[in-house]
Amino acid sequence: MSNAIIRRLLILGGLAIIGILFTQTYMLYRTWNSKQQEFNQTVNIALRNVAESISEYSGADLPKQDLIQQRSSSVYAVNINSAIDANVLEEYLEQEFINASLNTNFEYALYDCATDDLVYGNYCVLSNTDESTAPEGADNLPKFNDLIYYFVVKFVDREGYLLTTMRQSLILSGIALLAVLFFMYSIYVILRQKQLTELQKDFINNMTHEFKTPISSIKIAAEVLSKDPNVSSSKRLKKYSEIIGDQNNRLNNLVEKVLDIAKLEGDQFKLSKTEFDLDELLMQIVDSQSLHFQKLNGTISYKNMKYNGKLTADKLHFSNVITNLLDNARKYSQGAPFAEIILSKKDGNPIITIADKGEGIDPIYLKKIFDKFFRVPKGDQHDVKGFGLGLFYVKNICRAHGWWIDIDSELKKGTRVTLKL
C-alpha cells in the first residue's frame, strides 16, 4: 500500500471519526434535552392533578397563577391555599406518579405555618433501588419565603431516571463508539504493518545491492579461471569452472529480479515508453530464447497473424514480461519444453498468446499465481528454483501499462497466457 493511499485513508478515517463522534454527541444532547422537557411536562401535569385533588379534598380554591414552580432541575414547589395532610399528599403523589409512569424515587416536604418551617414528609420508593440510599431530613429541600401554603417535591434520582429512558440511544452510541475504536485500532495495525513492510523492503534492497559486488568479483574470477590453460586441459576443472559461471549467472539473475521488483513497488517507478515494431521485437526474443529450448531438445515457435502495427510501451519491461513467460514455459515443461507465441489483433489492438504443453496449474491456485512470493505447492519436490516473483512482476508491469492478462491452464496439458495490449 503506497504512502499516498495511507495518507488518504488517515484523512478520510479522521474525518469519519470526527463526523461520527460529533453526530453521536449532538444526537445524545438532543435526546437528553427532549427527555428533560418530557419529564418536566409529565411532572407538571402530575403535580397539577395532585393539587386539584387536594383542592377538592379540602374545599379550598387553587391560586390562579404560579401554581407549580420549578426551582431547580429536580425540585418543584406547589403553591396551594390550604393546609395539607401529609398522608393524603403522599397517597396522591404516588398515585399520580404511577399513573404518569414516573417510576423514580422522590421525597417531599410540607410547609407548617405554625412553626414557620419546612417539615420533612417522606422518601417514597417507586423504582427498584436500595432504600438505604434515601436522604435523611429536610436539609436537602429548600424553603421559599414568597409562598404561604405549599409543598416541595424533589426527584433525587432524576438524572438516573432520564438515562434509563435513554437506554436505546446509549446502546447505539456505545456501538458507534466501539466501531470508532475498532477503526482506530485497524489504522494502528495498518500503520504498524506498513512500517514493518518498509523495514523488510529496505533490508532486502540493501542486501541485494551488497550481493552485486561479490557476484561481479566471482564472475571476473570465473572468467579468468576458465581461460587458464591448466583448467582448459582438465575436463574436471573445466566442468567446475562452468558450474561456477552458471551458478553465478543464476544468482545474478535472481538479484536483478529482486531489484526490479523493488523498483516496481517504489513510489519513484516510472515507465519509459517508446514506439517500436512489435513483430520485430518478438522475433528477437524468440531467437534469443530458442538457444535455451534447444539445450533441452525443446522447440519454440512464433506466428504473426497479420499484425503490422507499432506498440508504445516500455521496451525493456515488455521484453522482460515475454521472457518471464517463456522461462516458465521452459522450466515447468514435461520432458522436452515447447512454447508457441501467436501475435494477433482484435478491434485494432494487438493480442499476444503464449501457450505451452507443460505441467499446468491446479485451478485452485490460478487466483494466487500473481501474488508476491507465491509458488504452486509441490510437496517435498523443489525441481524448479525461484522466489515466486516472475508472475508478480508480469502482473504489475501489465497493470502499469493498462494491459489485460489472463491465464488458462489445465493439469498435465499445459498453460495458455493471453495479453491484450
Identify the sign of the CA torsion 137, 142, 145, 146: negative
What are the grid coordinates assigned to 397, written together?
A: 508491469
Q: Say if residue 122 is in the same domain as residue 100.
A: yes
The last residue of a domain, from among 165, 190, 214 = 165
Name the least confident of 116-120, 136-140, 336-340.
Answer: 136-140
Q: Say if residue 415 is in the same domain as residue 279.
A: yes
Q: Can you give the pLDDT at residue 20?
A: 84
Q: Say if residue 15 is in the same domain as residue 141.
A: yes
Q: Can you give the pLDDT at residue 266?
A: 63
Give the contacts of 401 (CB within 8 A, at least 6 positions apart): 271, 313, 314, 318, 421
Taking the CB of residue 60, how many other CB atoms lie within 10 A of it?
13
Q: Provide the domain count of the chain.
A: 3
Mean pLDDT of 142-156: 81
Q: Say if residue 217 is in the same domain as residue 290.
A: no
- How many angstroms separate the most distant Cα atoms in the chain? 137
Q: Say if residue 246 is in the same domain as residue 374.
A: no
Please provide the distance, in angstroms rounded to a whole number, between the alpha carbons at the two ends of the chain: 26
The last residue of a domain, from among 265, 289, 313 = 265
Mean pLDDT of 231-258: 81
Dihedral angle, C-alpha 321, 324, 326, 329, nearest 10 °: -130
Task: Return the axis-axis angle of helices 167-227 and 235-265, rounded to nearest 10°.
Answer: 150
Mean pLDDT of 98-106: 88
The last residue of a domain, from among 165, 193, 227 = 165
For cell 534447444, what's the residue?
294
Strands (E), 225-337: 273-277, 299-304, 310-314
Amino acid at site 297:
N
- Phi (first) and psi of residue 39, to 5 degrees: -65, -45
Amino acid at site 158:
R
| pLDDT, tens digit, 9 for 90 and up, residues 284-310 | 999 988 888 888 899 999 999 888 889
Q: Say if residue 145 is in the same domain as residue 14.
A: yes
What are the grid coordinates assigned to 372, written together?
A: 508476491
Q: Say if residue 124 is in the same domain as residue 200.
A: no
Domain hosting 237: range is 168-265
What are the grid coordinates assigned to 7, written together?
A: 495518507
Taking the CB of residue 396, how many other CB atoms lie within 10 A of it?
19
Mean pLDDT of 231-257: 82
Residue 188's region, left for phi above 0, alpha for psi from -120 to 50, else beta, is alpha
Q: Say if residue 7 is in the same domain as residue 134.
A: yes
DSSP letter for each residue of 190-217: HHHHHHHHHHHHHHHHHHHHHHHHHHHH
Cα–Cα distance measured from residue 369 to residue 375, given in angstroms and rounded to the nearest whole number: 7
CA distances from 78 to 38, 95, 99, 248, 271 (A): 19, 17, 19, 101, 85
135 pLDDT above the threshold of 90? no
What are the grid coordinates assigned to 195, written together?
A: 512500517
Q: Helix, strand, or coil here: 24?
A: helix
Q: How confident is the model at residue 381 (pLDDT cuts 50, 70, 90)?
A: low
pTM of the entire predicted model? 0.52
Q: Can you give the pLDDT at residue 2?
A: 63
Q: Say if residue 161 is in the same domain as residue 180.
A: no
Strands (E), 73-166: 75-80, 106-112, 117-124, 149-154
Taking the CB of residue 390, how many other CB atoms lie within 10 A of it?
22
Q: Say if residue 230 is in the same domain as residue 333.
A: no
264 pLDDT above the threshold of 80? no
Q: What is the average pLDDT value for the chain, to the nearest integer?
A: 83
Q: Say if residue 143 is in the same domain as residue 251.
A: no
Taking the CB of residue 214, how many other CB atoms lie within 10 A of it?
11
114 pLDDT above the threshold of 70? no
